[in-house]
Amino acid sequence: MGVEQITAVAQDYLKVIWSATEWGGPPITTKDLALRFRTTQANVSETVKRLAGQRLVEHQPYKPVVLTSLGADLALAMVRRHRLVETFLVTTLGYGWDEVHDEAERLEHAVSDTMIDRIDRMLGHPVADPHGDPIPAADGTIERPGDTVPLAETGAGRVAVVRISDSDPACLDRLGVRGIRPGAIIVVAPDPGPPHDRRTIAPDGTALDRTDIDAIWVRPQR
């Protein structure tokens, strides 16, 4: 079974279920799925039952939804589509990195695997999208950057930005204006206040607020 053989709704669910745990988050529940898709838990439960009937997920009452091996393979195929489309829109069509997520959400259902493979070749087989999220290979393998931690959890020192969550376009816009993108170097300095507080300094010399800090993953520079 390929992604083109399941509905767009199933494609979305599998991608969201997989993505929930990619950067260390907990497995997603039906309640969380209802919030994510702005629908009722009853609707989510019906969809999850259909996915279970297709052997794409496993679910027990009051427990998170878990992908089967087949479900994970299809989820990765959708993640690959989404991130390659985002990369194509930014590098080739001139979209801003803060405006591609929703566009890619629409286009990922329409493109074929053949087109995705051709986009991949044209772009030179990129390993990450504009936000730093790794792009799965055609065989479904994916390699997350090593030594990567949330900026909020790192100690004082210089760190390299690896990934920025694309869930909030306004956050991406703020960070982009200040020169914070994957590859940028920022400084985490001890705050003169409480000993466990830290002050994060952007390339423009200003401090980041907590909302923006929570969107950033980094790799410490030794």
Kindly report the CATH number assigned to the domain that includes residue 125: 1.10.10.10
Flag whether pLDDT at 195 surpasses 60. Answer: no
d(CA 29, CA 91) in angstroms, rounded, equals 35
60 shares its domain with 99 = yes
- Domain boundary at 111, 127, 144, which? 144
How confident is the model over 175-196, as a mean pLDDT?
A: 80
48-66 tens-digit pLDDT? 999 999 999 999 988 999 9
Is pLDDT of 147 > 70? yes
| Same domain for 155 and 118 | no
β partners of residue 157: 188
For residue 92, the enclosing domain spans 1-144
Q: What's the whole-model pTM score?
A: 0.90
Same-domain pairing of 117 and 161 = no
CATH code: domain of residue 159: 2.30.30.90
Q: What are phi and psi of 201, to 5 degrees?
A: -105, 125
Q: Are residues 64 and 134 in the same domain?
A: yes
Residues 41 and 137 in one domain: yes
Residue 197 has pLDDT above 60, yes or no: no
Number of compact structural domains in the chain? 2
Q: Is the pLDDT of residue 180 over 70?
A: yes
Last residue of a domain, one of 108, 123, 144: 144
**Residue 154 binned pLDDT confidence (cut-offs 50, 70, 90):** confident
| 111 and 69 part of one domain | yes
User: Strand locations in 4-139, DSSP E?
Assistant: 57-58, 66-67
- Side-chain half-sphere exposure of 42, counting CA atoms within 13 A: 0
Domain finish residue from 144, 160, 183: 144
Same domain as 191, residue 131: no
Q: Are strands 185-190 and 198-201 parallel, antiparallel or unpaired?
A: antiparallel
